Amino acid sequence: MRRNMRKRSKTARRAIAAVAGLALGAGGLIAVNVYASAHENGDSASTRRASQEANQVLAAGATTISCPDVGAKLSSVPDGARALVDRELALLDQQVAEAYRRLQTSARAIQQDSDFANNAIMGPLKDKRVATIDRIAIAIGRSGPRPQGLEPLAACSLRTVGNQQGTGQGQGQGQGQGQGNDAGQNGNGGPAGNGPVASDFVDITTVQPNVQRPRTSRGASKGLFTTRCGVNANKLYNSDNIIVAPGVSNGAHHTHDYVGNQDNDAFTTNEEFAAAATSCRNQGDKSTYYWPVLRLQDGTQEFDAEQLGGGAEGNTGRILTASQVTLNFVGSPRGKVVAMPKFLRIITGDAKAFTNGTANANAAWSCTGFEDRQLTDKYPICPEGSKLVRTSKFQSCWDGRSTDSANHRAHVAFADPKTGACPNGFKAIPQLVQRLVYDVDAPSLDDNGKANPFYAVDGFPEQMHKPITDHGDFINVFDESLMNRMVQCINTGRQCR
């Protein structure tokens, strides 16, 4: 009876969210009409200059839309405003995705009208973002100081994909060297027209070893705790993101794999997490572990081929299930670790790193037998007999107070890569190291993946399936007794499975 009531409650929440989404969408349509009426009779020099610049970008080759990340600028959001702000931030992502899709399908109109991209796509996008950002500021201002300096974040720009040179020498955690030079490489690449392209790949045997490990002190916690939660054989997929966009369907705009907790979507409450089933062998671990799926660009029509988050947003091809998923929790090179609080939320990496820049990028791609060589901005081509590896190291320092934060990052931090020390005021916690292994043939680059198709990570459509956008998400739903056993195991230097 209780389980059925939870299901009905979640259905109701999803229905309410859908109605709210329609209301927000209607506001977006109004913004388009307002823009058209305000500009149809005007032609300033600045408008003409913006149109000329947009056309130059479009003529340069593969193009995407780059917008400032508003959520990253929110240092504090009052609890009473959190739900509304999260919905508005998700609406900003939706607006960019819709504008990018229109850009992709408007080549003829852009050729015929030199002002089309600016007047019909970029201008309306800015107007929508102005209104949405204003609603965010108002919501926060009702319960606390109104945030300042958000207005300039409304303007987006067109960007050629090949305007940064990639070295192919990714530096592991958060230190990628650019996004690759894709100009002239089969247009935007990929069956969906938004990547990947041949220059997104590099032969792993040509990469020099680059993994650095911090010094360990005498008091280091050297133990290891492994939880076994499967490889998503249950095929639990959705394009929600409960951490970044709670209460919003398709908040991720790409499909996630899930292991661990089996009641995981945008509407799951902490109570529902605690009561849910888990794919983990130890039933005391009901945590949720999720990451964007990897797809083979072979033309397969998956279950989401026509859906938002899937093929309708450029995420196409056969979903690859990892042959191995390893979830290890390790200690600190400087000292003991403390228990994580229940329902702690951690995001590692940045799903928008291609347009946001590398500040939060934490992708790590490699091959079995070559894991001393990690790539952030390239997909590896593995030699025969070697398998593809995705590794995500999560933040290992906690502020000691919060299970989440306004930008979903400030409450946790990485330890110093050289010394292993946490920032002042932070405590060392067990560090989740997630390793995914895939059996996938090396793509053929000389024919743009025709003989052996490209593979690519799912992502926001405007991120062009770049490897630097790989990321992972974790919510701690360990029983307190099992969490304490983990801490004891790590702090006493044992290996526990």
- pLDDT of 164 reads 39
- pLDDT of 269 reads 97
- pLDDT of 49 reads 56
233: exposed, middle or buried (Cβ count in 10 Å: 0-12, 13-18, 19+)? exposed
- pLDDT of 177 reads 33
- pLDDT of 237 reads 98
- pLDDT of 58 reads 53
Mean pLDDT of the chain: 87
- pLDDT of 35 reads 29
- pLDDT of 193 reads 81
Tens-of-pLDDT digits for all 497 residues of the chain? Answer: 444 545 556 766 666 565 455 444 433 332 322 223 333 334 455 555 555 555 555 544 578 999 999 999 998 999 999 999 999 999 999 999 999 999 999 989 988 998 999 999 999 999 999 999 999 999 999 999 999 999 999 999 999 886 333 333 444 433 333 333 333 333 467 787 888 999 999 999 999 999 988 888 889 999 999 999 999 999 999 999 999 999 999 999 999 999 999 999 999 999 999 999 999 999 999 999 999 999 999 999 999 999 999 999 999 999 999 999 999 999 999 999 999 999 999 999 999 999 999 999 999 999 999 999 999 999 999 999 999 999 999 999 999 999 999 999 999 999 999 999 999 999 999 999 999 999 999 999 999 999 999 999 999 999 999 999 999 999 999 999 999 999 999 999 999 98
